[in-house]
Structure 1
Amino acid sequence: MLYILACGMVFFPGLFCGLRKVLKSAFTHWSDADVVVVSERLVSSVHASLATVSGVLVVNTCRDVMNDRHWLVNSFVLFGAPYMAYDLYAMYLSHYHQQRLINNSAAHQNHSLQTVKAFLSKERLLVFHHMALLLVFMPIVLFFRRDLGDFFIACFWMTEFSTPFVSLGKILIQLGLENSKLHWINGVMVLCSFFTCRILLFPYMYWMYGQQFDLPLHSVPFHLPLHCNVGNLSIMVPQVYWFILLVKKAHRLYRRKVKDQGPKQE
């Protein structure tokens, strides 16, 4: 158990540091902020891909959604836990370098309590999300669920399917390709994958539970303990909020593109 945890503690920060060195050498005109942002996004995509593949493997193996076990569940939770702690630091580092880039006059500014507070204020929802996964989700999975529900744990991993597309969008902007066809196609994939794997996934899990116990979908919540419904709701609500933000952003970009093109002059 400790060996798997140690592997995660080495892998994610090590990959981040390695990518920073490679990108710094390959893109010498990039600022420290550019390098950190892209490195963070690439590591995030790697973690998301591992989580998605693990989730698919477990979901396809479990026939009994409540009682079937898979060795990968506890192992990946331990391996992925250090990622949450690392990603908090990487997000803060990205925020710090971006602020230094924006405030050129404060380029000498060092890390301080003020910079940490500014980061926590700006990214409070993401910070809360990471801390909840690390301090609540992980202990529940490892110690308090009585070896039940590997299927549902794997379903939650599959929510990460949209993350590489989100990261690719930001990397394309970083490369100056925000007006390319690839960026437009990727934006469509972001919306489709996010809606499918982060919102429709919840009724899917309830439907699968109903299929096993011969219950109609609408009655499943009334056959589950209250804490299960509350837990699912607390996870789903931020996903809906982020999806709305994505839709609004996509709509703004579309309107801007139409406005920029304008009516063709004869």
Structure 2
Amino acid sequence: MLSAVLAGAVAFPLLFCCVRQTLKSSVTGWSDADSACVSERVVSAFHASLATAAGVLVVTSCKDVMIDSHWLVNGFVLFGAPYMAFDIYAMYLSHFYSQGGAHKGHSLKSLRAFLLKDWMLVLHHTVLLLVFMPITLFFRKGLGDFFIGCLFITEFSTPFISIGKILIQLGLENTRLFRVNGIVVLLTFFICRVLLFPFMYWRYGQQFGIPVHRVPFHLPLQCNVGNLVILAPQIYWFMLLLRKAKRLYLRQSGRLTEKEKSRTE
């Protein structure tokens, strides 16, 4: 247990530092904000890729959605826990440099500005660390590894989101690659972060012979509430992605109003 936590505590900060130092020494003209932002996205994509791979292994191994278990569930939760804490720091660092913080220094004001801007992501990471992790490790009584594996798979869209942000950092937001990646982001996000929840209910119903619309009434209230709490921000973020995609399309087709242009800047 401790070895998995220590491995995560070393792997993610080390990768961030290595990527950041490599970018600072090899890419001319990049600021601290550029290197910090791209490094944070690389680490995020790395974690998400591992989570997706772990989720696929767990889901395909668990035939019984309730009682089958897989060692990767607890192992990856412990390994990924340090990432949740470190990514909050990495996001703050990226925000700090992008706001010219190198000339002002760290302060409560800069921290407050970061929390106001990215409060939902910070809350999301905090809940996963302080609520999801203890439930997974101590309160499930070994049940439901299949569903935890499904939740790992929700990270499948994250590498493509990271690629999009890196392409913007490279000034390639008007390329075909960026547009294709944007379509992939929308599809993977909708399938793996929104449709995945009805799939879990359907899979439970298939095993126990229950129509999918009746499944919520056969589950404990805390399970339905927990799923709703996780699903709600996914729907909110998906709507934001759709709005962003619409603005991008209008801007590239020359039909974006001045007011809408100001929102994208």
Task: Specify the alignment match of 1:175 in structure 2.
Answer: 170
Matched to 2:206, the amino acid is Q
Deviation at 1:4, TM superposition (A): 1.0
Deviation at 1:108, TM superposition (A): 2.2
Task: Specify the alignment match of 1:19 in structure 2.
Answer: 19
User: What secondary structure, in the 3-state scheme, does the structure 1 residue paired with 2:64 have?
Assistant: coil
User: Could you state the TM-score of these two structures normalised by the residue count of structure 2?
Assistant: 0.95
- Write out aligned runs for 1:40-189 (5 A): 40-100=40-100, 107-189=102-184
Task: Specify the alignment match of 1:38 in structure 2.
Answer: 38
Alpha-carbon distance in 1 for matches of 2:179, 2:116: 31
Deviation at 1:28, TM superposition (A): 2.2
Deviation at 1:260, TM superposition (A): 7.0
Task: Specify the alignment match of 1:103 in structure 2.
Answer: none
Picking from 219, 222, 241, the partner of 2:214 is 219
User: What secondary structure, in the 3-state scheme, does the structure 2 residue paired with 1:259 have?
Assistant: coil
- Write out aligned runs for 1:231-242 (5 A): 231-242=226-237
Give the % identical residues: 65
Matched to 1:87, the amino acid is D
Alpha-carbon distance in 1 for matches of 2:165, 2:47: 17
Extract unaligned runs of 5+ from structure 1: 101-105, 262-266
Alpha-carbon distance in 2 for matches of 1:71, 1:153: 12
Matched to 1:191, the amino acid is L
- How many residues in Structure 1 have an aligned counterpart in Structure 2? 256
- Write out aligned runs for 1:183-198 (5 A): 183-198=178-193
Alpha-carbon distance in 2 for matches of 1:78, 1:210: 30
User: Could you state the TM-score of these two structures normalised by the residue count of structure 1?
Assistant: 0.95
**TM-align CA RMSD:** 1.1
Alpha-carbon distance in 2 for matches of 1:180, 1:260: 18
Alpha-carbon distance in 1 for matches of 2:119, 2:103: 26
